Structure 1
Amino acid sequence: MTAPPRAERILALLDCLGEGEGSARDLLRRLGLPEQQLRSVQRDLRTLCDRGLLERSPAGRYRRPVRAVSLNPVEALAVYSAARMLYHHAAEYNEHYLRAMEKLSRQLPDRARRVAVLANEAYRARPNGEASRTFELAAQAWLEGRVLRCAYHSLQKVTPVELAIYFIELSPQNRQAYAIGVNRLKEGGRPFVYRLSRMREAALLADRCEIPEDFHPLQFLANAWGIMPGEPVRVELFFSPQVRDRVRETHLGQSAEIRVLASGHTRVVLTVGGWKELLPWVLGWGGEVEVLEPPALREAVAQAHAAGARVYGAS
């Protein structure tokens, strides 16, 4: 490979560090330069630091100087929360995710930025595998209006999918990413929900796809407890007095009916798109809640508690 002129290399270094921070070796890799160019890159970085265009951390990482921002405390907390959510959501390392977190981190005041930068360093150590690549392809398919092909590994079977993605959503329950769209290999043309971590052998097709103008993503998920829509089901729960305050603190949706009875119990009525996503949440309350409706959810909870009792030898 022919080495680029120094001026061109310096501009490329500044461009790279406009999207995040990195060591000299990181930058060598990002620029696609050979190993023998490492000393030249290090010399360029020292020059840029001397000119005040870059700063070097004690750990040997370079970055653009942090500019003053005009976020008020609540705005700063919102940006910080977004960076932390990215960190918790991404189980595998992805360079694009890291750059996004670094961009968010640079906007934060010192105290919040310190935590965010430490999280970015920890994120760098995560493994990089197929899930990261799948997420990249799914994002590209959605934003470019192209079809994503994959083998979808559900809990029951493996299904070929050619997916026109309408939107990508994170579940508020498990922080997993899901693609909502139409599998053109399946009859009916109805949108379904596909978990990205269950996609294998993903590939981007040249075929274009359009999102129907009358499709509204928020309406599609309007009655979902997490990410799965379905036929509305009425759920009635009866919480013990011991958890009254915890129930009051829990966000149950705007349509939830919550009433504290004279006995101290709390009666909650929800309407959700199917009860199966609700099951782990109900079980998390242990014996502090009784399911009154629907009968199928009540039976599922009873069976789960009975199985747990057998595991621990309880009568």
Structure 2
Amino acid sequence: MVSVAMDAVGERLVSRVERLRALEQALLKAGDRGVRPAELAQRLGVRRQTIYRDLQALADTDVPVWNPARGRWAVRQEQYVGTVRLSIHEAVALFFAARLLARMADEHNPHAISALEKLALRFPEPVREQAMRAAPLLERRPRNREFVQALECLTLGWIERRKVRVLYRSARGRQRHPYVLHPYFLEPTAPGMAVYVLAYEESYFRQFVTLKLERMSQATLLDERFPERDFDPVAALQSAWGIMWSSSPVTVRLRFSPTVSRRVRESQWHLSQQMEEKPDGSCILTLRIGHTLEVLPWIRSWGRDCEVLEPPELRSQLAEEYEAAARLYRTAATADSVSGLRPSSGRHPRL
């Protein structure tokens, strides 16, 4: 009899847990308008008094339920963070992403710090202690209140489909211009250590633009919502080397010397890449990317082991840059010899 009674209690507990989860999902699906307790009671097959008790139970477990309109209940989307159960391997995968953020970010981001600490608590020792030491890396970054404000406003605008007003100064501009953005996507980029928003700008450009958050100030989340448009930001970014995308990608062909060919062939540099191995040990990498500007630093990093085959304008640009650099270094070497300084042999110590 005791076993039967315990089984009944267990069933009731499971039933209530399942009902609370179903209630939470129903509130989320209702959006900002909310849903009436009577409707929830009918949907879940319980009395209205039970729904009121369950709403309080959700609030006690930090689900931000509220009453936005008379007789209706909803979840505050800007405060809601769902519970996600992760395996240890899934947590490590997210920790890798957070570690990359900690290494590439050049702004103080309190939300990234908090996320790192919460992920670290998911691990057993000694991994937990090592993971917890990653958060202070972000603490040392310069504090930029306007960056954090822009990030928060654009995040809520993206989630709630609300317009965001910002003042924006371009990389070479001196004045700040007011823009009204419809944020469709936020994208971090490692090469530039920055965060960008892909948005429709309604007041000046009247088209989709890519803007850097670090150049924004006085961001304000507006009450007005923006309409959906036929734009897939994830698909658009597939052509980008970093953040610059285009509906008409450029073909870039690069020849890598036998010295670095194996290293080049080890990695998937871009979704569009095609690799061709040559008999002499070199390889040719073909890319279809949105713009050549972002790939330039990567090409330069290979030095003389990378030759641009096409497009011809990119090849000419790099040739001019290398000629100017050669003149610069020849001038510097001459100045050093006149002053009595001996140039370095350029040899690396044996490792």
Q: Paired residue for 1:265?
A: 282
Shift of 1:70: 6.9
Report the CA distance shift for 1:246/1:200 in structure 2 as closer, same or farther (over 3 A).
same
Q: Paired residue for 1:281?
A: 298
Report the CA distance shift for 1:164/1:304 in structure 2 as closer, same or farther (over 3 A).
same
Q: What root-mean-square deviation, in Å, do the aligned CA atoms of Structure 1 and Structure 2 show?
A: 2.5
Deviations 1:77-96 (A, max 9, x none): 30320221232344333332
Cα separation, 2, equivalents of 1:131 and 1:274: 26
Question: Is the contact made by 2:104 and 2:190 (CA closer than 8 Å) also made in structure 1?
Answer: no
Question: Is the contact made by 1:80 and 1:108 (CA closer than 8 Å) also made in structure 2?
Answer: no
Q: Paired residue for 1:186?
A: 204
Question: Is the contact made by 1:180 and 1:194 (CA closer than 8 Å) also made in structure 2?
Answer: yes
Shift of 1:118: 0.9
Cα separation, 1, equivalents of 2:111 and 2:249: 38
Q: Which amino acid in structure 2 is aligned with residue 184 of structure 1?
A: E
Cα separation, 2, equivalents of 1:139 and 1:70: 24
Q: Which amino acid in structure 2 is aligned with residue 300 of structure 1?
A: Q
Cα separation, 2, equivalents of 1:133 and 1:261: 52
Report the CA distance shift for 1:303/1:201 in structure 2 as closer, same or farther (over 3 A).
farther
Question: Is the contact made by 1:142 and 1:166 (CA closer than 8 Å) also made in structure 2?
Answer: yes
Q: Paired residue for 2:221?
A: 204
1:1-315 aligned at under 5 Å gives the runs 71-72=87-88, 74-129=89-144, 130-157=146-173, 158=175, 159-187=177-205, 189-212=206-229, 214-230=230-246, 231-313=248-330
Report the CA distance shift for 1:275/1:77 in structure 2 as closer, same or farther (over 3 A).
same
Cα separation, 2, equivalents of 1:121 and 1:255: 37
Cα separation, 2, equivalents of 1:15 and 1:203: 31
Cα separation, 2, equivalents of 1:122 and 1:170: 18
Secondary structure at the aligned position of 2:123 is classed as coil
Cα separation, 2, equivalents of 1:256 and 1:239: 14
The aligned length equals: 247
Larger RCO (alpha carbons 8 Å, 6+ apart): 1
Cα separation, 1, equivalents of 2:272 and 2:140: 42
Shift of 1:180: 0.3
TM-score by length of 2: 0.64
Percent identity for Structure 1 against Structure 2: 35
Q: Paired residue for 2:337?
A: none
Secondary structure at the aligned position of 1:123 is classed as helix
Secondary structure at the aligned position of 2:203 is classed as coil
Cα separation, 2, equivalents of 1:277 and 1:268: 16
Deviations 1:59-111 (A, max 9, x none): xxxxxxxxxx9734x43430320221232344333332222221111112323
Cα separation, 1, equivalents of 2:86 and 2:208: 42
Report the CA distance shift for 1:89/1:172 in structure 2 as closer, same or farther (over 3 A).
closer
Q: Which amino acid in structure 1 is aligned with residue 119 of structure 2?
A: L
Cα separation, 2, equivalents of 1:301 and 1:109: 50
Cα separation, 2, equivalents of 1:122 and 1:267: 39
Cα separation, 2, equivalents of 1:238 and 1:88: 31
TM-score by length of 1: 0.71
